[in-house]
Structure 1
Amino acid sequence: MAKLLYSVTMSLDGYIAGPGGDMSWMTEFFAPNPMIGELIPDIGALLVGRTTYDGDDPHKDDEGAGKAFGGGWEGPQYVVTHRVPEQAPDGVTFVPDLATGLARAKAAAGDKYVNVLGADLARQLARSGDLDEVLTLIAPVLLGDGTPLFHEPGGRKVKLERIHQSAAPMATNLWYRVV
C-alpha cells in the first residue's frame, strides 16, 4: 500500500518558498543528491496542492521547466483544487477535494510513494493522520520570510521519528516517520 511522503527543500530558517511564493532561491542549490536519485524511482504518484501547481517553478529557466523534479520523474499527478479546469495536461488530473485526490493517488502509486507537494496539503494530511513521512532537504540559506514548512494556526504538535540523516553537496537531508 502506498505511503504518503511530504518532500520539500527548505531554507535553514524554515521556508519552502520565499515572499510571494518565489522559488528562484533554490536554483543555486541544485546539485546531484544521491538520496533523491534513489527516491525518484520509488515515487508512484504526486498529490499536489493547487497553489503549488500554479506557483513559481524553480526550473523555469532550464530544460526541466514545468516538469516534476525538473524532469527527473514522470507519472500521474493529482492536483487538489476547487477550480477544476475543463482540460488538463497529459498525466495531470484535477480533483475537487482531498479525499478524492488521496484515493486516486494511492491507487495509482500502488506500493510506491505518493509524493505530497504543497505546504497546505501536507498540513491537511498531517491533521487527518494520513501523512506517513516527511523528507526535508535543508539548503544553506536564510530567507527571512515566505511559506513555512508547516504552519498550523493555533499550533499543533506532530511527533516525528528520524529515519535517515545525510549530507549532500548542497543540502542536509532529514527524513522522518510521522509517529
Structure 2
Amino acid sequence: MAVQYQCAMSLDGFIAGPGGDMGWMVEYLTPDPTTDELMNETGALLVGRRTFGGDDPYKGTENEGEPYGGGWDGPQFVLTHKAPDRTFPGVTFMDDLRRAAAAAAEAAGPKNVGVLGAQVAAQCLEAGLLDEIFVSVVPVLLGDGVRLFSHPGGRTVQLEPLRTVTTDAGTSMLLRVVR
C-alpha cells in the first residue's frame, strides 16, 4: 500500500489551467490501460477541497462529479476546514491531514490511497506521508495554471523512477519519493 499522488499534467507542468480549469483534458480522456490499472490498485482517495468542488473535465456528461469520470468507486476523504452543509455518499470531510490520511489508508486496506489535488499532495509530501507520484504527461502546453508541485522559494525532492509507460494518451510515470 502506498500514498500516491495521482494526476495528469501538461508537458509544461500544469495539472489544471488558469482558475483550476480542467476543460483542457476533455480531448485527452481516451481509454488508457495504465489509468485502468491505477484505478484497480486504488482503494480510497484523499482529496483536496478545491479539487473535490472544482472544475470537472466530465462536465455536462453522465460522469460529471465522479472520480476518474466514473471509472473508480470507493471511499473519499476530503481535506477541508469548512465542510459543506450537505452530505455526499461515500465522502467524509475531515480537517486534519494526518487523521484523514490514516482514515483513507484504513479504508483502502491493501490497496493504494490516491491523492488528488496539488495542495493536499504538497501537504502530504511536507508531512512525510507521500510515498509515490503517478503522473500522466499529456502532449499539450497550457502556459499557466495550477502546477504539479510548487514550493515558494524552491525545494528539491528526490524521486526514483519505478515505471514509465507510453501510450497514445501520453506518457505515464510512477515515481517513488526518496526519503
The TM-score, its normalising length taken from structure 2, stands at 0.97
Q: Find the aligned partners of 1:18 and 1:26 in 2 and give their Cα distance.
A: 10
The structure 1 segments of at least 4 consecutive aligned residues displaced by more than 4 Å after TM superposition are none
Q: Write out aligned runs for 1:122-141 (5 A).
A: 122-141=121-140
State the match for 2:74 in structure 1: 75
Q: Distance between the aligned counterparts of 1:87 and 1:114, measured in 2? A: 25
Contact 1:48-1:80 at 8 Å conserved across structures = yes
User: Does 2:155 align with 1:156?
Assistant: yes
- Secondary structure of the structure 2 residue equivalent to 1:129: coil
2:170 match: 171
Residue 23 of structure 1 is matched in structure 2 by: 22
> 2:56 & 2:64 partners in 1: Cα distance?
7
Runs of at least 5 residues in structure 2 that lack an aligned partner in the other structure: none
Rounded to whole Å, the distance in 2 between the matches of 1:30 and 1:78 is 24
Equivalent residue for 2:113?
Answer: 114
Q: Hey, what's the Cα distance between the residues in 1 that align with 2:115 and 2:2?
A: 10
* AA partner of residue 161 (structure 1): E
Paired residues, what number?
178
Per-residue deviation, 1:161: 0.4
User: Could you tell me whether the CA contact under 8 Å between 1:32 and 1:169 is conserved in 2?
Assistant: no
Segments of 5+ residues of structure 1 without an aligned counterpart are none
Whether the 8 Å CA contact 1:126–1:158 is kept in 2: the answer is no
State the distance in 2 between where 1:54 and 1:169 align: 29
